[in-house]
């Protein structure tokens, strides 16, 4: 049975110079007494771009760490309760969005009321369009990033203004585009090529490639803009690509690339934005039988059976050209701990490991060695 599941998202506003006006009108969408969630690196821009346009703000909080650890989530929840916050403005990347969703969920558990979220994303994974979030549990014998899907936590309003990307570090911005492509590809696990996700995602991936394959080497975002190598239109194009790659997130299910990333990030501390750079191309090759010709949408002109390999090769070339890491061994993780990674994946995500086909568990072991 084909099925399209929609989320209760009220408005997505995009374009140049739309941020200030949209923030000023959040009250039209039921936002009262907003608190801003962000990170320390964005505090100066938050004071300049966000705070002056919020009506009735009850403050801001920047004490959020990567991978949304439960300690940060509890602090965020308490800050909302202490301030009497009625809504959240999430200004940042995936970890800030995860924190906002998690706090809204826990606020509902405590008070019976979800806090509506307005998303101001500074990265390009597309988390602002989904109801998925992770909380890294820190109290057990081993850290573990547990996934949740709570439809009421999807941001009610999303703002895509290229100015939001101008302060994002190059590596973070570009690696998040690979995460966005990851959403497009793994969204094909359980849908056919005529599903709306597939049609929108194919458009998003092609636009990502068109912009990223001419991206300048080494320059930070502001430097690239000042030199003319990148335009604000390019940044908006990336924002729209991320949206198209993850246009119907409630209709798709994460796959093995994402799950390896959750374990490498939540448990072993690798930067979440970079994990898809390491995992996506090899996972596409390893799961080629599962995806088959459906990935032809992302590899125009591919003959029968060629699409997975052609797409994986193009992604791998893009990662290399952009100077992004493509091996676990580039990070501070002892190779001897790969069996721990494998065990967590086999125990927690058997369905995704099963995408590898016959002898999936032993194939996973070999895949992780390849990723090293």
Give the domains, in start order, of the chain with CATH numbers: 11-165 (3.40.50.1970), 170-371 (1.20.1090.10)
**pLDDT: which is higher, 302 or 49:** 49
Q: What is the mean pLDDT of residues 246-256?
A: 93
Q: Residue 186 — very low, low, confident or very high, per pLDDT cuts 50/70/90?
A: very high
pLDDT digits (tens, 9 = 90+) for 292-305: 999 999 998 888 88
Q: How far is the CA of 276 from the CAs of 15, 125, 185, in angstroms? A: 28, 10, 11
Is the pLDDT confidence value at 359 over 70? yes
Q: Which two tokens stand for residue 331?
A: 């990070």
Q: How far apart are CA 85 and CA 93, in angstroms?
A: 21
Q: Which two tokens stand for residue 150?
A: 């709570």
pLDDT digits (tens, 9 = 90+) for 326-349: 999 999 899 999 999 999 999 999
Q: Residue 252 — very low, low, confident or very high, per pLDDT cuts 50/70/90?
A: confident
pLDDT digits (tens, 9 = 90+) for 90-105: 999 999 999 999 999 9
Q: What is the mean pLDDT of residues 177-188?
A: 97
**Segment (H or E) for 367:** helix 360-371
Q: Whole-structure pTM over 0.75, yes or no? A: yes
Is the pLDDT confidence value at 1 over 70? no
């Amino acid at each position: 049975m084909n099925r399209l599941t929609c989320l209760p998202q009220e408005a997505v506003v995009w374009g140049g110079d739309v941020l200030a006006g949209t923030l000023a009108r959040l009250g039209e969408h039921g936002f009262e007494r907003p608190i801003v969630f962000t990170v320390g690196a964005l505090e100066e821009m938050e004071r300049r771009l966000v705070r002056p346009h919020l009506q009735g703000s009850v403050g801001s909080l920047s004490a959020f760490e990567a991978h949304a650890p439960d300690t940060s989530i509890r602090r965020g929840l308490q800050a909302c309760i202490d301030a009497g916050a009625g809504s959240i403005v999430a200004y940042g990347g995936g970890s800030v969005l995860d924190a906002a969703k998690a706090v809204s969920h826990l606020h509902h558990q405590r008070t019976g009321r979800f806090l509506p979220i307005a998303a101001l994303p500074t990265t390009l994974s597309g988390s602002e369009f989904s109801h998925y979030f992770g909380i890294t549990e820190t109290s057990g014998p081993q850290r573990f990033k547990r996934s949740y899907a709570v439809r009421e936590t999807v941001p009610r309003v999303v703002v895509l203004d290229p100015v939001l990307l101008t302060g994002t570090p190059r590596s973070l911005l570009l690696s998040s585009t690979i995460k966005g492509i990851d959403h497009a590809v793994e969204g094909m696990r359980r849908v056919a090529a005529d599903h709306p996700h597939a049609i929108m995602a194919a458009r998003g991936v092609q636009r990502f490639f068109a912009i990223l394959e001419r991206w300048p080497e080494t320059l930070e975002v502001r430097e690239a803009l000042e030199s003319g190598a990148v335009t604000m239109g390019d940044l908006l194009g990336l924002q729209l690509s991320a949206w198209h790659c993850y246009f119907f997130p409630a209709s798709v299910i994460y796959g093995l690339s994402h799950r390896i990333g959750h374990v490498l990030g939540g448990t072993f501390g690798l930067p979440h934005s970079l994990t898809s750079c390491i995992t996506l191309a090899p996972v596409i090759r390893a799961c080629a039988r599962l995806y088959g010709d459906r990935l032809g949408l992302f590899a125009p002109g591919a003959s029968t059976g060629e699409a997975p390999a052609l797409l994986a090769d193009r992604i791998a070339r893009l990662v290399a050209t952009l100077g992004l890491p493509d091996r676990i061994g580039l990070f501070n993780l002892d190779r001897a701990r790969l069996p721990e990674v494998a065990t967590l994946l086999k125990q927690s995500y058997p369905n995704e490991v099963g995408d590898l086909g016959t002898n999936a568990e032993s194939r996973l072991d070999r895949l992780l060695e390849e990723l090293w």
